[in-house]
A and B are shown apart, each in its own frame.
Chain A
Amino acid sequence: MFTSRLLSKRSINSARRFISTSHEDFDVVIVGGGPAGLALASALGAKQQLESSVKIALVEAGDLSQVQNWSFSSGTFSNRVVSLTNASQAFLKDTGAWDHVEQERTTPIDEMQVWDGISDARITFSASELGVQQGMARLTETLNLQRGLLRHLQSIPAVQIVDKSKVQSITVDETPGSWPLVHLDTGRALKARLLVGADGLNSPVRSFAKIPTYGWSYDTQAIVCTMEHPPKGPFLGPNTTAYQRFLPTGPIAFLPISPTASSLVWSTRPTLATALKACEPSVLGCMINAAFRLPDVSIRYLHDRILEAHKAGKPITDEEIKAEIHWREQSHSIDWTSAYSSVSANTTSSLGVPPSDAEMMPPIVTSIQPGTIASFPLRYNHTETYIGEGQGSRTVLVGDAAHTIHPLAGQGLNLGLGDVECLSSCIQDAVLRGGDIGSYTALLPYTQERYLENHKIMSACDKLHKLYSTSFGPLVQLRSVGLEVLNELDSIKAAIMMSAGSVSREDRPLSYSSDARAAFFDMAAKGVENIGSAAHVAGIVRGGLANLAVTALQNLATAAASSQQEQQRKDTR
């Protein structure tokens, strides 16, 4: 009686049903040949325990042989770079893919300088402070990573790469538990025990599985390009410091990739992004230098000038913008020897003793590599779950298909690689216990472990973006107190860096990030000690509203002190 109901088949997308007559069976079908999809294929394929028991296909619309044969002459760099945290690197080393990534095209980040665009309050993170040996993260071009992963996949027979194939539709029989069928425009059809959506922001797999997603677009475009600059001067050390300034229009980041080249990620208003891209490239170079150096009021003025000129149909010229910047520098009494001067200091930047504060500014950009200027809109997106259910069962999402994030902390791909690491070990566990890797039960630990972890970092980045995109006075003062206080509190800083993934995930047990909890308790303990010094820092800040904060902090300090005294009294008793 029930069999007749169960066996009656109805395709969800009946129009596509008859396109392909036969299909091939795979245990895992990964849709999307971006870094996350490739990393998953290589991680699963590299697991020797799985032998031939997991047959994998990776579907990609583009031509992956182009990525695999990608080569750039040394000194020129692609405009899309990724910052790989130590945790992500450890994972890639583990799977063996890291050996195929060209090391000459990677740069360690030994220090990060982050400051507020309005108050100039600054925090410095450094690897040596943390006791990490080889940098807090490593920067490389996305293409270098993708090419490395593809080369690694060459040695793995269990993975079949199906590129130049677009997913046309995904169908499934009505029978619960049946496998989804992926129809490709080449006429092939792949049946998947587990269908992985690594297919980015507009994931077709996600829409097939009907997994709801929640998010918003920031009214922001990220401008990227590869910048050229002279090597750092004799007293400044190698080009391994990342700089980021939080302007009210969005953060601008300077990411080193070689001694004389760095990558830009500048999040700003869409209108300004359009206007800047319409100018000659050297205008963007000047604006980058100015954006790191001039006070906010002047940057706002320059932005207005560029927008006006763009509106009038005559994009601002190189000479005009230089004259404007020079004039603004004079009005802030920045002379040509200062570290804050960009236009006048051009010729002398690599000679002699550097000016004071030189280490607080990135090198001066002299030119932009041709053809590298691009921009893309920024979004925040998080799906409600990573596992499909009901008609969409046997699907799982990783990387950008599950979450997109503001790039201000450079965490997007690292979250994706964290997903991939967790999912691949989850699949291995299930296989070794005879489980069905497409089942809800087998995938549940993946979503349990990753969802909250990702959400924590995503909301932190979102809040940071919103906190810094205001120039509303009291908030600026409060947040600069925040940054100054942060600089004082080593334990909080360590906790931030930990969530930024500079500690290998390998050191943590899979199900609970106990170190994060340990850091929390450490932080809480030190926090009590440091509330006093925070109040001291806050006291320096003037302004009515800030005083409120001071009073609050001082009250807290008093409370903490009295509770400490009480504790001591108890101890002595």
Chain B
Amino acid sequence: MLPTRLLRSSTINANEIAHFSRLSAEWWNERGEFSFLHKMNPVRMQFIREKLIETAYDEQPEEKVNASKVRILEGLDILDVGCGGGLLSESLARLGARTTGIDASESNLAIAQHHASLDSRLSTNLTYKHAPAESLLSQSKRYDVVCSMEVLEHVDHPAMFLKTCAELLKPSGHLFLSTISRTPLSYFLTIFMAEKVLRQVADGTHTFSKYINPSELLEFFQTYPPSTAPGNTLLPWITRLYDGEPTRKEAEVRGLIYNPLSASWILAPRGAWGAAECNYIFWVRKPALDAMSS
């Protein structure tokens, strides 16, 4: 267990960590407790891949972008916050990223480390650390991409957590988050059906009041970094919304919809009505240095 000293100064919730530590041996059982996450992983990776290709096309001459290459993340430093058993971290590393997975549960990390050791190709660019995200702030290392998938709904102070993730990014870095909306539909699907009725997810995995709506994330980054801070001349990460939607270059919200008939997740199109009522994935970009100082 984590020393209590660490817990006080971080966003980590001790009960949540205990819950996931109990389940840790199950992480890589693709038919078990975490089967939903296993199936969601390819869709999350698809979104990350497509979004990075999209920004590459925006910033580079077309002929320089090789959208079909496998190791699309080659040369990038990526931090996976709350990596759990390493589902996402392994995929990121396979696409060439120098990946660091961090988690607050030691047993999760042991599982992640052990599983990665089974794949000889992962040894070069995948490392795991037992550390809360906040502890990385004191180091000088910053990342091109920070991912935190299905974590936000388990942390204690989401605003502080978001701030930490944001600060760990290099200028022009990408932040990817996936989480669950706080809606009647999400209560019905993720808690009532998944945990209580079908029991496909362990009871107590989710807490409804901790769910966060896409609009709340958009709102957060519209006022981040806070302009009230002394001497702050920086623009917020999201400068404007049109009909509640951010512009394509600043942020994006996409619904993740589970199709029980094909037992797979679908990445809903941008702006699809009602798609983000339950699970969704969120992307926001840290402004470049010149934009920040203007």
> What secondary structure prevails in chain B residues at the interface with A?
helix
Residues of B within 8 A of A50 (CB): 70
Complex CA gap A193/B29 in Å reads: 17
Q: A430-B42, A441-B38 are in contact. Are A176 and B28 (CB under 8 A)?
A: yes
Residue interface bits A167-187, CB-to-B below 8 A is 1, else 0: 000000001111100000000
A177 and B45 within 8 A (CB): no
Residues of A within 8 A of B49 (CB): 432-433
Residues of A within 8 A of B70 (CB): 49-51, 53, 431-432
Query: What's the least CB distance linking A94 to chain B, in Å?
Result: 16
B94 at the interface (CB under 8 A from A): yes
Of the listed stretches B111-119, B171-179, B229-237, B284-292, name the one at the interface; the rest are far from the partner chain: B111-119
Query: What's the least CB distance linking B257 to chain A, in Å?
Result: 15
A434 and B29 within 8 A (CB): no
Complex CA gap A440/B41 in Å reads: 13
B71-124 contacts to A (CB < 8 Å): 71, 90-95, 107, 110-111, 114-115, 118-120
Contact of A434 among B92, B262, B263 (CB under 8 A): B92
Contact-residue bracket for chain A: 20 to 34
B42 and A435 within 8 A (CB): yes
Q: Which of A2, A430, A432, A434 has the most CB of B within 10 A?
A: A434
A175 and B95 within 8 A (CB): no
Q: A432-B70, A448-B262 are in contact. Are A193 and B41 (CB under 8 A)?
A: no
Query: What's the least CB distance linking B122 to chain A, in Å?
Result: 10
B110 and A3 within 8 A (CB): yes
Residues of A within 8 A of B263 (CB): 444, 448
Residue interface bits B28-66, CB-to-A below 8 A is 1, else 0: 111100000011011001100100000000000000000
Contact-residue bracket for chain B: 20 to 34
B114 and A436 within 8 A (CB): no
Complex CA gap A7/B117 in Å reads: 11
Residues of A within 8 A of B41 (CB): 433, 435, 441
A545 at the interface (CB under 8 A from B): no
Complex CA gap A441/B71 in Å reads: 20
B68 at the interface (CB under 8 A from A): yes
A439 at the interface (CB under 8 A from B): yes
Query: What's the least CB distance linking A248 to chain B, in Å?
Result: 43
B114 and A3 within 8 A (CB): yes
A511 and B45 within 8 A (CB): no
A177 and B91 within 8 A (CB): no
Residues of B within 8 A of A448 (CB): 262-263
The 7 closest A-B pairs by CB, nearest first: A434-B91, A433-B45, A434-B94, A440-B30, A434-B95, A53-B70, A433-B42
Residues of B near any A CB (own CB < 8 A): 25, 28-31, 38-39, 41-42, 45-46, 49, 68-71, 90-95, 107, 110-111, 114-115, 118-120, 262-264
Residues of A near any B CB (own CB < 8 A): 2-3, 6-7, 25, 48-51, 53, 175-179, 193, 389, 429-436, 439-442, 444-445, 448, 511
Could you name 26 residue pairs across A and B whose Cβ atoms are closer than 8 Å? A2-B107, A2-B110, A49-B68, A53-B70, A53-B71, A176-B29, A177-B28, A177-B118, A178-B118, A179-B118, A430-B42, A431-B70, A433-B41, A433-B45, A433-B46, A433-B49, A434-B90, A434-B94, A435-B91, A440-B30, A440-B38, A441-B41, A444-B39, A444-B263, A444-B264, A511-B262
